[in-house]
Structure 1
Amino acid sequence: MQLNLRGIIPPMVTPLTADKNLDQQSLKGLIEHLLSGGVHGIFLLGSNGEAPSLTYALRKELVTEACQIINGRVPVLVGITDTSFEGSIEMAEHAKASGADAVVIAPPYYFPISDGEMEAYLEDLVPKLPLPFLLYNMPSCTKMNLSMNTVEKAKNMGALGIKDSSGNLEYLYDLIETFQDSPEFAIIVGTEGFLPQAIERGGHGAVAGGANFFPRMFVDLYDASVTKDENKIVEIREKVTHLYDTIYNVGKDFSRITKGIKCALSIMGICDDYMALPLRRFDAGDRERIKTYIEIFEKQGIR
C-alpha cells in the first residue's frame, strides 16, 4: 500500500479529563475542527500527543476512537515509538485493527544508539509491522540524528517517507536532494516555519503543531507554497512567525510549545488543557497571556 502523504498533517494533541482519562467528547470536537480546517491527514501519538506519558490502554483507546470518528476521511498515522520493541509491535497491531493507515517510527528513546543499531532495529521491526511506516527524525528526544544512509536503508525497507523534526534546515535540504529522484518518498517537515522552503525545494508537507488550533492557516500556507503565490506566502509566514513569538514562547519550560498548543485549544473551547504527567498545564498568568494572543489572532480572522 502506497499512501500519498502530502500537505498538512497535524500532530494531534490527546484531549484528557482532569483525572487523566481520554476526553472522548472533546476528541470528536478536536477532530472535526481539524477536518473542517482542510487538513490532509492526522498524526496520533506524536510528541504533541504526549504519547510516552500515556498508558497503553489510553493510547489504544485514543487510536480506536479517533479512527472511528475520522472514518476514512483523511489518512491516520499512529506513532508507535517505544522503549519496548514488543510494545511498538502491540501498538502497530492495534493501529491496524482500528483502521489506521500507517505507523510512525522514531529511534527508541532513553538509550543512545548508533546508526548501525538503528538499522538493525528496523530490520527486526519492519517485517513484523502490519501497516506501512513513516520514519521520524527527532534528535532532541531520541539522542540520535538519522543519517542519510540510515534513511536510505529505511526507504529500501519500504518506508513511505520521513518526518524531520531536527530543526536543521540544511539537513532538511540534504534529505530533499538525496531523495529527489524518488518523488513517492515523502519529505515531511516537523518545523512548521520551514514549510515554504521545503515545498520550494521539493518537499511534500508539514506535521504542524500549530495546525491543532489554526488548521486553515497552515493549509493556506501549504497551498500558497505549492502554487508559488509569493505574496500569500509572505503574508502567512509573518503570522506563523508571530505565533512562534507569542503562543510558542510563553513560559520557560522546554515543554512550552505542547503546553501552549493545549492551552490555546482550551481557550478556543475545543478541548481542555489537562496534561499527562510529568507535564502540567500553564498557571493562570501564562494562560491569560495565551488568551490575549489568541484573541489578537482571531481578530485578524486567523483560524
Structure 2
Amino acid sequence: MKYKGIICAMITPFDENQNINPQATCELIDYLIDKGVYGLFILGTNGECHVLTDDEKVEFAKIVINHTNNRVPVFVGTGGNSTREVITLSKRMEEIGASALSIITPYFVTPTQQELILHYKSIADSVNLPIMMYNMPGKTGINIEPDSVRELSKIKNIVGIKDSSGRLDNMKAYIEATEGEDFSVFSGSDSLILDSLKAGGKGAVAATANFLTEIDIAIYENFMNGDLEKAQEAQNSIEELRRILKLGTIPSVIKKTVVLNGINVGTARLPVTEPTGESLEEIKQVVENYREMLNKHS
C-alpha cells in the first residue's frame, strides 16, 4: 500500500475516570473518516502513549482497528526504549490487525546511529507489518540522521518516516537520501505540511487534524491539484490553532478543542491537567472563530 495524504495523529479519548472511552473513540474515528483523513496514527505523542500500559495500548488499538474496519490504514505506535519490549508489543499489534506500526526512537538514553539502525532492523526482522519510523529529537534527544534513514529505507518493510524535528532541511535530506526507494517522508510538524509537499514529501501526520481536519486535508488536496494559492491559504489558516496549543501541556489543548467541537474525548491523563481561566477562554474563542469560518465555507 502507498501511504500518502493527511494522517491524523489521533488523540486517545478518556472517560471521567481517565480510562479509555470506547464510545467517544468510535465517534472520533467516524468524524475523522467522514471528513476524509487518509489514515489514523494512534498511540503517538498526542495519543498519550507515554501514560498508557501495554495492555491499554492493545485494548485501544483493538477498538480503533475494529471500528475503522479497513476504511483507512491504522498506524499503531509501539515505540519504546527496549528493542525486546518494542518487538513484543509490535507482535501483539500485528496479531490484532494493525495496518502498520509507528516506532519512535528510544529516548532518555541516546543511542549511537549504529545502535539505532540495529534497533529498527531487529524490529523489522521480527514482524511482517510495514513500519513508519518516528523522529522527534526535541523530545527524545536524538535525531535519526539522513545516512541512517538511507540504510533503513532499503529494508522492505520500513516504508516511511514521520519527521517531527521541525526542520525542513532535515526532511529534505530524508527525501534526497531515500530517492529511488519505495519510501515516504511525512511531516510531523503541522507548520511545514505545504513546504514538505513542495520538497517531495508524501503528506503529514497531523495532530491539528483532530479538529481542523478539512483544513489540513485542503492543504494536501489543493497542492495535489496544483492550486498552490489555496494550499497556502489553508496552511496559513491553521496557525491560530498552533498558537493556542502552547497554552497547555500536550495534548490538553487539542483535546479541549475536540470537546468544544462536540466529541467528548475527556481530558489528558494526570499529571497533565486541562486548561482553565484565561487560557480556556482564549481556546473557546478560537474554536468559535474556526467553527464560524468552516460553516461559511461548507
**Normalised by the size of structure 2, how large is the TM-score?**
0.94
TM-superposed deviation, 1:39: 0.3
Aligned counterparts of 1:234 and 1:301: Cα–Cα separation in 2: 17
Q: Is 1:248 the equivalent of 2:245?
A: yes
Alignment partner of 1:275 out of 268, 273, 276: 268
Deviations 1:91-122 (A, max 9, x none): 21222122111101121111111101111222
Deviations 1:62-81 (A, max 9, x none): 10000010000001100110
Task: Determine helix, strand or coil for the equivalent of 1:160.
Answer: strand
Name the residue aligned to 1:48.
46
Equivalent AA in structure 1 for residue 78 of structure 2 = I
Alignment partner of 2:112 out of 105, 111, 114: 114
Deviations 1:270-293 (A, max 9, x none): 123321233222124422221111
Name the residue aligned to 2:253.
260
Aligned counterparts of 1:87 and 1:271: Cα–Cα separation in 2: 32
Does the 8 Å CA contact 1:11/1:48 hold for their aligned counterparts?
yes
Name the residue aligned to 1:287.
280
Aligned counterparts of 2:255 and 2:86: Cα–Cα separation in 1: 26
Task: Determine helix, strand or coil for the equivalent of 1:69.
Answer: helix
TM-superposed deviation, 1:83: 2.3
Aligned counterparts of 2:5 and 2:98: Cα–Cα separation in 1: 18
Equivalent AA in structure 1 for residue 137 of structure 2 = P
Name the residue aligned to 2:123.
125
Aligned counterparts of 2:16 and 2:107: Cα–Cα separation in 1: 28
Task: Determine helix, strand or coil for the equivalent of 1:280.
Answer: coil
Does the 8 Å CA contact 1:259/1:273 hold for their aligned counterparts?
no
Equivalent AA in structure 2 for residue 63 of structure 1 = A
Name the residue aligned to 1:228.
226
Name the residue aligned to 2:185.
187
Deviations 1:27-86 (A, max 9, x none): 011101110110000001001001011111211111000001000000110011012333
Runs of 4+ in 1 over 4 A off after TM superposition: none
Aligned counterparts of 1:12 and 1:87: Cα–Cα separation in 2: 23
**Normalised by the size of structure 1, how large is the TM-score?**
0.93
Name the residue aligned to 2:144.
146
Does the 8 Å CA contact 1:102/1:132 hold for their aligned counterparts?
yes
Does the 8 Å CA contact 2:147/2:177 hold for their aligned counterparts?
no
TM-superposed deviation, 1:123: 2.9
Q: Is 1:299 the equivalent of 2:292?
A: yes
Equivalent AA in structure 1 for residue 246 of structure 2 = N
Shift in alpha-carbon separation, 1:130–1:271, aligned structure 2, 3 A: farther
Does the 8 Å CA contact 1:119/1:154 hold for their aligned counterparts?
yes
Aligned counterparts of 2:37 and 2:202: Cα–Cα separation in 1: 14
Equivalent AA in structure 1 for residue 8 of structure 2 = P
Equivalent AA in structure 2 for residue 250 of structure 1 = L
TM-superposed deviation, 1:167: 0.2
Q: Which moved more, 1:107-116 or 1:73-82?
A: 107-116
Deviations 1:170-205 (A, max 9, x none): 1111122222333x3101000112111111121100
Q: Which moved more, 1:122-131 or 1:7-16?
A: 122-131
Deviations 1:138-161 (A, max 9, x none): 111211101111111211222101
Name the residue aligned to 1:166.
165
**Structure 1 runs not aligned, ≥5 long:** none
Task: Determine helix, strand or coil for the equivalent of 2:2.
Answer: coil
Deviations 1:228-263 (A, max 9, x none): 202212321221122223x32324xxx25x221101
**Number of aligned pairs?**
295
**Percent sequence identity over matched residues?**
29
Q: Is 1:205 the equivalent of 2:203?
A: yes
Name the residue aligned to 1:196.
194
Aligned counterparts of 2:257 and 2:36: Cα–Cα separation in 1: 19
Name the residue aligned to 2:26.
28
Shift in alpha-carbon separation, 1:170–1:81, aligned structure 2, 3 A: same
Aligned counterparts of 1:272 and 1:104: Cα–Cα separation in 2: 23
Equivalent AA in structure 2 for residue 87 of structure 1 = E
Q: Which moved more, 1:282-291 or 1:97-106?
A: 282-291
Equivalent AA in structure 2 for residue 30 of structure 1 = L
